[in-house]
Amino acid sequence: MSIGNSPEADRPSVGHALQQARIGAGLTVEEVSTTTRVRIPLVHAIEQDDFSRCGGDVYARGHIRALARAVALDPRPLIDHFDAEHGGRPSPTTLAAPIYEAERIRSEPRRPNWTAAMVAAIVAVIGFVGFTLFTGGDKSDGGPIAGGDTHAKPAPAPTRHPSTIKPPINPDPSDSAVAGLPKDKVTIKVTARDGQSWISAKDANGKLLEDGLLKQGESKTITDKERIDLVLGNAGAVQLYVNGKEVKEIGDKGTVERLSYTPGDPQAG
């Protein structure tokens, strides 16, 4: 959607342009909020062209830029349109970035698991002591026997005829990949091969397993015991493997596809 090439009277507002692009991408306000970390009430306000809750023009530009990228819009025409309606862009300040980041939804940092670290250290010490005792016993048993012939040579190892030696069998790479996956689970690998794509994955109970923007070249692997419900934005740019088998012809570029897979899928890769 373009708002920079039409006459002034025909231009959609910034909020209306973002709303129409979101609806066209098949995304809800909650999904866009999860992707951008912009709070749901703030997304609603921006789509109604109410920027008073953003805390200032600097922060409003940051929210507009994040929402535009989430719905596959070029943010530059939107920012220019916003500046034209709000008196231009002010000089940058050093406090803009910290305050803008405070408006975003942040996840709590994970604390280190000291119990697991201590258990791993104890296991390593026990393994080292056991290995030392085992190798020490082998050295004592391998010495010459008292009273025996200290110059005796060890018996040569038996040779095998070349015809009895079987060459190793190298499995097909795709077969070995499928065989290595657990059969009682569903495993999905999504790769943004031809462009970025927004993905969302939930289990059979509606629990969110993965959600966010996948940049070109990035991959995500998701596993569940029962079922994975998958939503792909820009489906034509995605390469999808389900339980080790590639699923082809997912959809066209720019379309949103909703898929569901269980441990027995796909019937034909």
Q: Is the pLDDT of residue 180 over 80?
A: no
Lookup result for tokens 């535009």 = 68
Q: What is the pLDDT of residues 220-241, one digit of tens each?
A: 999 998 899 988 878 788 898 9
* CA–CA gap between residue 51 and residue 58 (Å, rounded): 11
Q: How confident is the model at residue 134 (pLDDT cuts 50, 70, 90)?
A: low
Q: How confident is the model at residue 10 (pLDDT cuts 50, 70, 90)?
A: low
- Tell me the three state secondary structure of residue 150: coil
Q: Is the pLDDT of residue 150 over 60?
A: no
Q: Are 251 and 240 in contact (CB under 8 A)?
A: no
Q: What is the pLDDT of residue 4?
A: 43
Q: How confident is the model at residue 161 (pLDDT cuts 50, 70, 90)?
A: low
Q: Is the pLDDT of residue 5 over 50?
A: no
Q: What is the pLDDT of residues 22-60, one digit of tens each?
A: 999 999 999 999 999 999 999 999 999 999 988 889 999
Q: Is the pLDDT of residue 64 over 90?
A: yes
How far is residue 53 from each of residues 59, 89, 103, 185, measured CA to CA in Å? 10, 18, 10, 45
Q: What is the pLDDT of residue 253?
A: 82
Q: What is the pLDDT of residues 190-211, one digit of tens each?
A: 898 988 887 989 999 989 899 8
Q: Is the pLDDT of residue 3 over 70?
A: no
Q: What is the pLDDT of residue 126?
A: 87
Q: Where in the chain is the domain with CATH 1.10.260.40?
A: 8-103
Q: What is the pLDDT of residue 69?
A: 95
Q: How confident is the model at residue 157 (pLDDT cuts 50, 70, 90)?
A: low
DSSP 60: H
* CA–CA gap between residue 14 and residue 153 (Å, rounded): 90
Class of domain 8-103: mainly alpha
Q: What is the pLDDT of residues 77-132, one digit of tens each?
A: 999 999 988 876 655 544 444 444 444 555 545 666 777 778 788 888 888 877 77
